[in-house]
Amino acid sequence: MPMKIPETVLECIRVLWEAGYPSYLVGGSVRDLLLDREPEDYDIATVATPEQVTALFPRVIPTGVEFGTVTVVLDRPLEVTTLRSDGAYRDGRHPSSVKFGCSVEEDLARRDFTVNAMALNPLTGTLVDPWGGRLDLSNKILRAVGEPQERFREDGLRLLRAARFVSQLGFQIEEKTLQALMQEAGRLQGVARERRGHEFSLLLVGPNVRAALELLVDTGLMASLIPELMEGKGLKQGRLHPDDVLGHNIRTCSLTPPDLKLRLAGLLHDVGKYQGWTEGPYGRYFPGHATRSAALIPEILSRLCFKKRLIRTVTLLVANHMFFWRAEMGLAPVRRLAARVGWLEFDNVITLIAADRMSIWGDPQAAGLNELYEAAAAVKKEHPPLTARELALTSGEMMSALNLTPGPAVGALRQELLEQVWENPDLNTRQELLVRARRLQSQEPSLFSGSSVLYRHEATKNDN
């Protein structure tokens, strides 16, 4: 094996063999080792029962004894599972019965894909490969073990796992397996939402995410995940767009870095376009679609059990992705964008905007990305105040100097000062802000009439 196996893993297997229990690395860890990739975890299969494993190690956690699994805790936790064969899968998730004491070949026969149905004795280098997984691995083929329909009927999540491996490994799905996947696609609806969301997350951050998402669409799986996206299939856009709305969402997603919130934002940034459009001289445009798309996201992502903080972040990014800006407009609009999303998400919203533009133009220069990146860097460097609380003049100082009492007028005045600072950050000094506050007090009495004047800057009108 090109990849070095951790000594803790070898020690665990060595203890089992020395006690008379043949044991192997199985599943994804063997696949990844053969691909010279570092496994995320190492699963061990053994002829020993959970009780026998427990007797050999000082600390063992009974994490799934009914299925023969315990967790051996050495320098790292290691799942150790008794070799088994499974009975019928009546609930589309768990076998109705398990039989322990089978051979390693029988154990491998119950697994999903051939590339995951190999076992390795790392002490000797012996590979057990009854289903031809190593050859499929070399040919970058994803093939079900045995009869594909049976494998997918046993556990509907395997349908989504197939697409995940396309994303992570860049494999092609073998034709018979692909046909079975399409025939059984509806079974994904019966899979728990948490499991779907977790598997979808892994898919989204893979290097071949576009191929995987297109597979979800072509096989019908996307309809069980995010049916709202399918509303964009065949929905034409303006003359600049090479794709329909669905294709544009997928392409934009693939152009973002492998960060879950950005991939989700890219995939869903135009999900609300199907709700309305207008025909114009240059084709269709979709006024208000950023707001509509953002409004759909909490429902979509909650349905897949994503965490609330992630949902809020994706919603914020999508709501602000329609940023129409050219260099001649100056930095004020970029400062306002920073104020809307905050410093924590400023780089992310710029990245999303860039991916959206690249999906349309396909060329950084035509998309104006160099100017956008330079403007964003300039705004980050000057670090202007994003909220009224960050102004150099406090509320108390302003009220004392202008003889004001607390109320809406104070907030309105400070917001007006903040708007002026966004136009020119050099104004953010205590003395200059006092001068301008006095001027506003004398020139714009409406600010102090009890009505609260908030942002004067209008949201972008180019939400097309």
- Domain count along the chain: 4
Strands (E), 179-326: 278-280, 283-285
- pLDDT for res 454: 38
- pLDDT for res 286: 92
Is 1 contained in some domain? no
Is 2 contained in some domain? no
Kindly state whether residues 428 and 314 are assigned to the same domain.
no
Is 230 contained in some domain? no
Kindly state whether residues 379 and 398 are assigned to the same domain.
no
- pLDDT for res 257: 98
Kindly state whether residues 368 and 427 are assigned to the same domain.
no
CA distance 100 to 413: 75
Going by C-beta distance under 8 Å and a sequence separation of 6 or more, which residues neighbour residue 97? 86, 87, 88
Kindly state whether residues 63 and 26 are assigned to the same domain.
yes
Kindly state whether residues 332 and 437 are assigned to the same domain.
no
- Asked which of 329, 364, 383 is the last residue of a domain, the reply is 383
Closest to 177 in 3D by CA, of 145, 200, 222, 225 = 145
- pLDDT for res 66: 85
- pLDDT for res 239: 83
Check if the beta carbon of residue 80 is closer than 8 Å to that of residue 44.
yes
Is 195 contained in some domain? yes
Kindly state whether residues 417 and 442 are assigned to the same domain.
yes
pLDDT, mean of each 10-residue run, the chain (464 residues): 85 98 96 93 95 96 90 95 74 63 91 97 96 97 97 96 97 98 96 97 98 98 97 91 95 98 98 93 88 98 98 98 93 97 98 96 90 97 96 95 89 94 96 94 68 39 45
Check if the beta carbon of residue 243 is closer than 8 Å to that of residue 251.
yes
Kindly state whether residues 84 and 149 are assigned to the same domain.
no
Is 455 contained in some domain? no
- Give the domain range for residue 399: 392-448
Kindly state whether residues 37 and 126 are assigned to the same domain.
yes
Kindly state whether residues 30 and 72 are assigned to the same domain.
yes
Kindly state whether residues 245 and 297 are assigned to the same domain.
yes
Is 457 contained in some domain? no
CATH of the domain at 102: 3.30.460.10
CA distance 133 to 31: 8
Give the three-class secondary structure for 84: strand
Is 290 contained in some domain? yes
Is 36 contained in some domain? yes
- Asked which of 82, 100, 132 is the last residue of a domain, the reply is 132
